[in-house]
Every structure is written in C-alpha cells, then in structure tokens.
Structure 1
Amino acid sequence: MSLEMMISLILKSLGQTGQMVAISGLLGSLIGLPIGIFLATSGKGELFPAPTVNRIIGLIVNAARSTPFIIMVVAIIPFTRLVTGTSIGTNAAIVPLTIATIPFFARLVEAAIREIDKGLIEAARAMGATPMQIVFKVLLAEARPSLMAALTMTMVSLIGYSAMVGAVGGGGLGDLGIRYGYQRFMPEMMLAVVIVLIVLVQFVQSAGDALARSFDKRNRKN
C-alpha cells in the first residue's frame, strides 16, 4: 500500500472517529448531566428529596456502567437497528456509544456536585433561593471546573470505546486497525492507528485541562 493511500484511509477513519465521539459525547452528556444532578440532589433531606427514585436510578446507572462495552454493543443490536436502520457503520456505532456515555458521565457529574461545600447551599437557601436557582446559580456555577474535567474524561473514554466498536464493523480508526493492521497483516497500519489515537487522546486531554483551569476561580485570582 502506498503512503498516499494509507494517509487517505487514516484521515477518513479519523473523521469517522471524530464524528462518533462528538455526537455521542454531546448526546450522552446532555442526557447524563440532569441524571447526575438528580442523583446528587435527591437523597433524603436534599434539594429534591426522592430517596426511592434515587436508589432506582442509581441501580440502573450502576447496571449500565458494569456491563462491558463490547457486550453491550452486541446486546443492543436490535435497538441500534431500530434507531438507525443498520447495525454496522459510523451512525450505528453512535447508539451504543451514547448509551455508554450516559451513566458514565452521570456518575462523574454526581461526584462533581457532591464536592461543593454544603455551606454554600445552606447560604443560598437562607437567602430564599429556590431549588432550581440553587442548581443553576450555585451547584453548576461552582462545579464548572470539575464538570469540564468530567467531560474531558468522558471524551477520552469515548475515543477508546470508538476504537472498540471497530471490532463489530463500527468504522473509524479501530475498524481501520483491525481490517488492515490485523486481518491483512499490515503492522505499519496498526502502528499508525495507535499513534493517531495517542495523539488524539493527548490533544483532547490537554484542551480539556486548559478549559478546566480557565473555569477555576482560584486560577483566575492568581
């Protein structure tokens, strides 16, 4: 295989990986964010007390997180086919990637919210703030650095997941590495895919860390 063809295949696969990660990351975080907020604020005596519902949702989230990703991809093939009309390709891969993102990001959001000083919540309550005002003006505002770090961690994990769906025809860099690097015995293609994935992860991690620092009030004061 010529160098030009190899570069062309890598760029095409990189675009597919970027599409999968961006769309599933956006959808998964939009759904996971309110779930995480609810899990962090719906315990007994908290802003939205609903301990029974909290436990049920927590069990569902834990069950989804404990399911190995590759098994989940295969298990929800009928649902994937129902949503996208196919079980292979980039669009089909977005479905299990999104479903995997939701519980993962929700738990990270919950942890970020629970790190906030309870005194801030009590002070807001004393000033007459409603629960929704506390969520948007206190919890989310104070947790922005942690939420950005959580989003970064989620995107990095999604890059790894997107490579795994290549094993079931999901497209992207993982699929390229399996089809050419493994099945056609082209170690140079496998090496190139690994290097691109490492560079991509480093870029996402560095950009996310920079954004998290920009949101941190302590850094702005310095």
Structure 2
Amino acid sequence: MLETIQQLLPDLNKAFFQTVQMVLISLGVALATGLPLGVLLFVSDRGLFLENRPVKSILGFLVNMIRSIPFIILLVALLPLTKLITGTTIGPIAASVSLSVAAIPFFARLVETSLREIDKGIIEAAVAVGATPWMIIKDVLLPEAKPGIVQGVTLTTISLIGFSAMAGIVGGGGIGDLAIRFGYYRYDNTVMLVTIVILICLVQIIQLTGDAISRKVDRR
C-alpha cells in the first residue's frame, strides 16, 4: 500500500492543487455574484425597504431553477458555454464554469437566510433615522449577518469540493478525476481510500476554520 501511495504522490499532488484551483475560482465568482444576489433577494421581499415583487419573483425563480438541476446534469448541459468561455471542456479552469454556476444560487440563498435572521427592529430603526438603502445594507445588514455569511461561505466551499470531485467524470481534473481513473477504472481500492481520506481531511479543516472565524466575528 505504501509503495502504491509513493508512486501516486506526483499525481496526488497535481490532483490536489487542481481541486484547490477549481474551488478557489468558483468560490470567488460565487462570493462576488452570490452575495449581492442574496442581498437583493432579501431587500426586494415584501415589507422591506426596497420591496419589488417582480424582481423578487424573477430572481427567486432563476435561483430555484438552477438549484433544482443535479450538478452532474448541469455539468454536461453547460459544456457548450464552458467551451465558449474557456475554449475547452476539460481541465480545472473549464470545470470552474459549471462549479461557479452551481455555487452562485446556492450561496445567494444562504446569504438571504442569514439576513432573515436579523431582528427586523434593527432594520426599522435604520429606516426611521433616514438611512439610505446602501447605508442600511453596508452598515446594518452585512455586519449583523456576518457570522451567518461566514458559515455560508464555509458550506459553499465544502459543497464545491464535493462538486469538484464529480467534475472528474468529464475530465475536469482534481481528486475526483484521480479517483475515477486510478481507483474506479483500475479497481484500485488503495487509490480510492487515499482520495477519500484527503477529501475528508480537507473538509474537516475548512469546517473548523469556518466555525472559528464565525465565532470570532459574532458580536452577539
């Protein structure tokens, strides 16, 4: 077993950094797009200071539609878009397109949920003193929801690790690709075990780090 692992070390190292690359790219896109989308979903809801039912309905429908598609189907369906954007359909950069599309609505809903946990009295007080919508979002909503948003980032990152493993099915690279090529197709249980252990350790580290940061930024 040790000899097999030693032989696989170069491939394991490459696969690990491909997974990290996929996750970081798609997480960055999810944060940049999903955060404002989640805020918009919240503030456009009924009774809020930017209430807009058509916007809320349209955005909610699009988010739910993407989230309802299993990732493996989404991965295949977005291959033409991936080819258009990256010029290829294989490799970690290409896989990041589908991962980003899956992560954006997922993270947006987590942001919306975190904002819903804020005491409505705080929002009403900010409106009463004449704060602009931007000031309410920047100085009230985001600071108050920070612990929940941090947990949302943690959950999104962990989900992306799982999704990135599926990307190996279509040549996305990463740990999942290694597990499929060396573990599944060659019936090598050692490779499967090693990749599973790596993924478990990675998820545990991210979860513990996210929990620690969430506790640190929690002002309650």
Residue identity in the other structure for 2:42:
A
> With structure 2 as the length reference, what TM-score do the two structures score?
0.97
- Within-5 A mapping of 1:169-180: 169-180=171-182
Deviations 1:150-171 (A, max 9, x none): 1000000000000011111110
Partner of 2:32: 30
Residue identity in the other structure for 1:63:
M
Partner of 1:58: 60
Comparing 161-170 with 42-51, greater Cα deviation is found at 42-51
Partner of 1:80: 82
For residue 217 of structure 1, give the secondary structure of its aligned residue in structure 2. Answer: coil
Partner of 1:96: 98
Please provide the CA RMSD for this pair: 1.0
Partner of 1:40: 42
Deviations 1:73-132 (A, max 9, x none): 000110000000001111100000000000000000000011100000111112111111
CA contact (8 A) 2:5 2:191 kept: no
Q: Provide the C-alpha distance between the structure 2 equivalents of 1:3 and 1:201, rounded to a whole number of angstroms.
A: 21
- Within-5 A mapping of 1:182-221: 182-218=184-220
Equivalenced residues, count: 218
Q: C-alpha displacement at 1:202, in angstroms? A: 0.3
CA contact (8 A) 2:94 2:172 kept: yes
Q: Provide the C-alpha distance between the structure 1 equivalents of 2:110 and 2:4, rounded to a whole number of angstroms.
A: 44
In structure 1, the gaps of 5 or more residues are none
Runs of 4+ in 1 over 3 A off after TM superposition: none
Residue identity in the other structure for 1:140:
L
Partner of 1:147: 149
- Within-5 A mapping of 1:108-127: 108-127=110-129
For residue 49 of structure 1, give the secondary structure of its aligned residue in structure 2. Answer: coil
In structure 2, the gaps of 5 or more residues are none
Q: Provide the C-alpha distance between the structure 1 equivalents of 2:89 and 2:121, rounded to a whole number of angstroms.
A: 49
Residue identity in the other structure for 1:23:
I
Q: C-alpha displacement at 1:141, in angstroms? A: 0.5
Identity within the alignment, %: 50
Q: Provide the C-alpha distance between the structure 1 equivalents of 2:4 and 2:167, rounded to a whole number of angstroms.
A: 26
Q: Provide the C-alpha distance between the structure 2 equivalents of 1:21 and 1:176, rounded to a whole number of angstroms.
A: 16
Q: Provide the C-alpha distance between the structure 2 equivalents of 1:104 and 1:70, rounded to a whole number of angstroms.
A: 15
Residue identity in the other structure for 2:105:
P
Q: Provide the C-alpha distance between the structure 2 equivalents of 1:162 and 1:3, rounded to a whole number of angstroms.
A: 22
